[in-house]
Structure 1
Amino acid sequence: HPELTIRQVTASVEEIEESYIASLEALLLGAVLAVVVVFIFLRDWRATFITATAIPMSLIPTFLVLEPLGQSLNGISLLALSLTIGILVDDAIVEIENIVRHMRDGKSPYNASMEAADEIGLAVVATTATIIAVFAPVGAMPGIIGQFFKAFALAACISVAFSLVVARTLTPLMAAFLLKHQKHEDADPFWMSGYLKGLGWSLKNRWKVVAIGTALFVGCGVLATRVPFEFLASGDTGRAGFSVELPPGATLAQTDAVVQRITRDLRARPEVTSVYASIGGQDVNQANVYADLTDKGERDLSQQQFARVMVDSWKPIPGARIGAGVAQQGGGPSDGTSYRFAILSDNGVALTAAARAVEAEMRTVPGLANVVNTAAIARPEILVTPRPDQAALMGVSTSAISQAVRVATIGDVDQNLPKYNLGDRQVPIRLRLTRDAREDLSVLETLRVPTAMGTSVPLSAVADVQFGAGPSQVLRQDRSRVATISAELDGIRSGEAAAAVSKLPTVQNLPAGVRQVPAGDEEFIQEMITGFAIAFGTGILLMYAVLVLLFKSFAYPVTIMASLPLAIGGAFVALMIGGSSFSISSLIGVLMLMGIAAKNSILLVDYIVMAEKDGMPRLEAIMDAAHKRARPILMTTFAMGAGMLPVAVGWGADVEFRQPMAIAVVGGLISSTFLSLLFIPPIFTIIDDVAGFLRRRLGRMFAGQRDVPAQAATPAE
């Protein structure tokens, strides 16, 4: 058919492709920045090359494992890899930095590789094990939240596990045969003397440091309450959707006329490239309209601003309810541009009155636009009310009245209809009154209703027939009637909208029998917080168990995990400074912090314990550990921060979802690193003193358990 021309009107695949390409760009750019950081610190291209080798050697096996597990290369898994790109070189950095330090002490590359790998082995295994211990329970979370975290947890855990294998095998091997002695001296960096002085003050004033750290954590917790909550951040996808609803009973032609006007208005806008409309999805009075927009850099208005301008321009259309965004099918979360409030009751009258009162007050809340109450949607109907006394006298049952009215208005049920055979199928023959007759009460009143004696009487003799109005639909939840008030978000987040609505007088004083239930994104936010609490607790316990097994101590893991509050507090501060919300992406970042924030403490505590076993006093061991491990701590922190920098800055597509996660991780890294370098050593001394005191008390208490009772002498016969 050469006369036919097929042209694409709209599609969502471009958005997916842009997000995929942006994730790959962030992955590659993050890898390059991480390698650059390593070179700046080590000033050795051979050591930098060995460290960079860990990235492809960790990523490629990850793809091989993800495929048999049924995981695709989606936005979540790519996001996990782009955020863990700095972690993949983390173990290799610690290994290679230790090897280089031993070489600068005069050892050969082979001997330095053997001794350094043996010295740092426990710390490398511990840092990787804590990350896996955090994400293992996260991947098993139930519900929609779990589906997000499953792909992320698998990609993160598998890639980090392979990075450990590479760091413990390939990195020392390559270092032993590729590294060469450098001529420059291993001088301390310019900041080392100032750091050691500050650490000395912290050790002398350890209780003051603990108080300062506690105050900072509490202050960050207070600031965290000011960070708005939402499930998913609204993004600019370049595709604006609009929902259209006409009053119940509207015809398809009337709906089409409104949609045609909306289409003409959209095509007249310079931001619109194409328009697609779908009429009659659920009912003939409903429609969805989609407008594809130009690139973000080519228009002055964002997608949300454009939708708000267009919806406001359509308010004069009579009888049409037009809103920004398309209703989410299947009960999933929204796109972050709407808010829903729901109340339940078994009393329909009280529910309707409460819903209308809440609707009126929600219209006064700043940031809420186009407030719609589902309980307020009514349609005209004909009410047939039987008169029981007259019906009983004439022998007419209510079922007979119902059947007569049903057959005349909508036709009989399919099982009772005659069929017209068309060979391969049967067409039911439905008989009913014409449209004009169905709308004429005098015609309906003359309908004949059969009696028990075999005669018939007019409908008006046994029932009252009149016009009325009723709800267009009755929605139920948990076997109770539910009323939902929806609104579009105009410059605020769903968490801020929920907080504002909860303060309304009607909401705080709902009538008896009427109760509020979570709805929309608020329901998913509650599920997210609950799942996060379970995953957080499980991750903490698993992390503690792993560290206890590795360090063979119940006290040292407490010191290591003391850096977690500092990291979480820094994440919330960064979100507030960056103007981001706490959403599911931020939650992923906070959970990632739990694993990587313990890295700094592990490197310090591991060296302190090792030095004390070699006979070094505790204070000297702490200062020596800080002196030798401060540089690898900063190297790994800067490498991870550089790897996440492209995502945190917001380069590429789909930045609204990816950016809060990277901001949370970078903020937590900064706070945990710079504070833990001064905070963890004093904590170590306190925990060590407490552990020593308990060890002495318990040793005296159970000293007899170690002694073997003397055997009584057997008398000679």
Structure 2
Amino acid sequence: VKEVAGAVTSATLTTVAVFLPIGLVGGMVGQLFGSFSLTITAALLASLLVSLTVVPVLSYWFLRAPKGTPEDAAEARRLAEEKEAASRLQRIYVPVLRFATRRRITSLVIAVAVLLGTFGMVPLLKTNFFDAGEQEVLTVKQELAPGTSLEAADEAARKVEKVLTEDKGVKDYQVTVGSSGFMAAFGGGTGSNQASYQVTLKDAADYENAQDRIDEALGKLDGIGDTTIAAGDGFGSQDLSVVVKAADADVLKKASEAVRDEVATLKDVTDVQSDLAQSVPRISVTANDKAAAAGFDSAALGGIVAGAVRGTPAGSATLDDTERDIVIRSSKPAATVAELKALPLGPVKLGDIADVKVVPGPVSMTRID
């Protein structure tokens, strides 16, 4: 046991050192391969325990040497060595073993050189989960300021199209402006201020150079908003999301800006965006002290303003086997702050009992349980 315990233990622990760290990885990789890693590790350690304890005992019981004279034992050993020496594996391994034992310093130098060589190959290792490989398709996403009209978005998209048309590596492309079309059905564009481009390249092996060229050309344009370029058809993602939480809105804004600026300094990170920084103008109606005296509260004012802008549901009707909602609204609904302030509410106007003003509001609100 003493002769093989060291070799068996070191070999097993080397394999364990490869598989065990995988079980400590988080994210999707950890979810997929964590159980596999821990299972392999447990099996190897159990095998090591059995080989050092159970196997020697069983060998002592069932594999005892046959009885005979010392001469018979020596002859049996000689025949076994001759048989092993005749094998192809022994003819290759024995000279290597003799070289290693006779030239120990040289063997150590070779081992260290191989080790250093493996360190030099580390930069060539891929560290991502799914490698993009050679992509024939690039996905370009364009996002303008929230609230941008479809006409303005189309005008900005034409500037991007010109860059794609003039690039020598682009074979063809398809652009979708707004939330309609193929991409919207799969969660693509979500508003009139967005556009997406499916770009097909002439040479898949040149996708990195093409991506750099297009990105550089788009960076020189004004009035096209924010653009991002990714390899593939857009269904995969290499985005990394950082969630910032705070009880106070001002503290949250400062923390979000600090995180965004810090992440933007990382060399392997591009297109850092904060959804808190995006906003759209909204009209805020807040009841003042005069509202209660006039018989209105915040809830009542909210319903009145909604009815003045969107109309009031009055029922439904079936037309051509299709049920449709009936909405009563003014022929000229209020569309500006001045029109809302002048909205009559009995003897008073909305502007008399509420503060009506334009304030920035979030583009979207996401809840994480």
Deviation at 1:217, TM superposition (A): 9.1
Residues 172-211 of structure 1 mapped to structure 2, 5 A cutoff: 192-198=93-99, 200=101
Shift of 1:286: 1.8
Q: 1:242 to 1:364 in 2, by over 3 A?
A: same
1:274 Cα deviation after fit: 1.7
Give matches, 1:549-588, under 5 Å.
Answer: none
Tell me what 1:322 maps to. 227
Q: Which amino acid aligns with 2:308?
A: A
1:262 deviates by 2.2
2:216 maps to which of 312, 319, 324: 312
Q: Aligned equivalents of 1:327 and 1:196: distance in 2?
A: 51
Between Structure 1 and Structure 2, which shows a larger proportion of strand residues? 2
Task: Look up the match of 2:291.
Answer: 391
User: Where in structure 2 are the equivalents of 1:480-629 lying within 5 Å?
Assistant: none
Change (3 A) 1:312 1:342: farther
Partner of 1:371: 272
Q: Name the SS for the 1:314 alignment partner.
A: helix
In structure 1, stretches of 5+ residues that fail to align are: 1-130, 154-184, 450-454, 479-717
Instruction: Name the CA shift for 1:313/1:187 in 2 (closer, same or farther; >3 Å).
Output: closer
The answer for the alignment partner of 2:348 in structure 1 is: 457
* Superposition deviation, residue 353 in structure 1: 1.4
| CA positional deviation for 1:219 | 12
Cα deviation for residue 393 of structure 1 reads 1.6
Amino acid at match of 1:475: T
Which amino acid counterpart does residue 318 of structure 1 have in structure 2?
A: G
How far apart, in 1, do the equivalents of 2:252 and 2:232 lie? 23
Of 152, 156, 165, the residue aligned with 1:267 is 165
Q: Distance in 1 between matches of 2:328 and 2:143?
A: 30
- Gap change, CA 1:232 and 1:447, over 3 Å in 2: same
- Tell me which residue corresponds to 1:667: none
Count of residue pairs brought into register by the alignment = 286
Indicate whether 1:284 and 2:188 are aligned. Answer: no
Percent identical pairs in the alignment equals 22
Please tell me the residue identity of whatever aligns with 2:319.
L
Q: Structure 1 407/187 Cα, relative in aligned 2: closer, same or farther at 3 Å?
A: closer
Aligned to 1:647: none
How far apart are the structure 1 equivalents of 2:347 and 2:126?
68
Assess, with a 3 A threshold, how the Cα gap between structure 1 residues 436 and 428 changes in structure 2: closer, same or farther: closer
* Residue number among 259, 282, 286 corresponding to 1:381 in the alignment: 282
C-alpha deviation, 1:435, in angstroms: 8.5
Deviation at 1:463, TM superposition (A): 0.7
Partner of 1:424: 321
Q: CA deviation at 1:269?
A: 2.2
Alpha-carbon distance between aligned partners in 2 of 1:238 and 1:328, rounded to the nearest angstrom: 9
Describe how 1:58-457 pairs up with structure 2 within 5 A.
145=29, 192-198=93-99, 200=101, 229-279=127-177, 280=179, 281=184, 282-296=190-204, 302-315=206-219, 316-318=221-223, 320-325=225-230, 334=237, 336=238, 338-387=239-288, 389-412=289-312, 416-432=313-329, 437-439=334-336, 441-449=337-345, 455=346, 457=348
> Partner of 2:272: helix, strand, or coil?
strand
CA distance in 1, matches of 2:331, 2:250: 34
Alpha-carbon displacement from aligned partner over 1:129-153 (angstroms, at most 9, x marks no partner): xx9xx99xx9xx9995489769x99
User: Which one of the candidate residues 337, 358, 369 is aligned to 1:467?
Assistant: 358
SS at match of 2:242: strand
Provide Cα deviations, 1:415-464, integer angstroms capped at 9, x if missing partner. Answer: x344354231133244556799412x221012234xxxxx5531112111
Return the letter of the residue paired with 2:320. G
Distance 2:233 2:296 in 1: 47
Amino acid at match of 1:269: D
> Does structure 1 retain, via aligned residues, the 8 Å contact 2:170–2:199?
yes
Deviations, residues 568-607 of structure 1 (Å, cap 9, x unaligned): xxxxxxxxxxxxxxxxxxxxxxxxxxxxxxxxxxxxxxxx
CA contact (8 A) 1:344 1:477 kept: no
CA distance in 2, matches of 1:201, 1:433: 101
Name the residue aligned to 1:103.
Answer: none
For residues 143 and 367 of structure 1, the distance between their equivalents in structure 2, rounded to whole angstroms, comes to 19
Question: Offset of 1:401 from its aligned partner?
Answer: 0.3
In the TM superposition, residue 327 of structure 1 has moved relative to its aligned partner by: 11
Distance across 1 between alignment mates of 2:232 and 2:247: 26
**Partner SS, residue 345 of structure 1:** coil
Change (3 A) 1:326 1:189: closer
Structure 1 pair 433/322, CA: closer, same or farther in 2 (3 Å)? farther
Query: 1:365 & 1:187 partners in 2: Cα distance?
Result: 55
Tell me what 1:493 maps to. none
Check conservation: 2:144, 2:194, Cα contact below 8 A: yes
Q: Please say if residues 137 and 231 of structure 2, whose CA atoms lie closer than 8 Å, have aligned partners that are also in contact.
A: no
Q: Helix, strand or coil: the match of 1:343?
A: coil
In 2: Cα distance, 1:305 partner to 1:266 partner: 14
Instruction: Provide TM-score, normalisation by structure 2.
Output: 0.62
Q: Distance in 2 between matches of 1:249 and 1:188?
A: 75
Superposed, which structure 2 residues align to 1:629-668 within 5 Å?
Answer: none
Inter-CA distance 362–428: structure 2 relative to 1 (3 Å threshold): same
Alpha carbons of structure 1 residues 471 and 263: separation in structure 2 relative to 1, 3 Å:
same
Given that residues 309 and 334 in structure 2 are in contact (C-alpha distance below 8 angstroms), is that contact kept between their aligned partners in structure 1? no
Query: Are the equivalent residues in 2 in contact too, given 1:238–1:303 (CA < 8 A)?
Result: yes
Q: 1:284 to 1:386 in 2, by over 3 A?
A: same
In 1, Cα distance between equivalents of 2:301 and 2:232: 39
| Partner Cα distance (2:228, 2:332) in 1 | 32
Shift in Å, 1:290: 0.5
Q: Distance in 1 between matches of 2:268 and 2:133?
A: 17
Secondary structure at 1:262 match in 2: helix
Q: CA deviation at 1:390?
A: 1.6
2:308–2:334: 8 Å Cα contact kept in structure 1?
no
Relative to structure 1, is the Cα distance of residues 333 and 476 closer, same or farther in structure 2, using a 3 angstrom cutoff? farther
Shift of 1:189: 8.2
Equivalent in the alignment of 1:172 = none
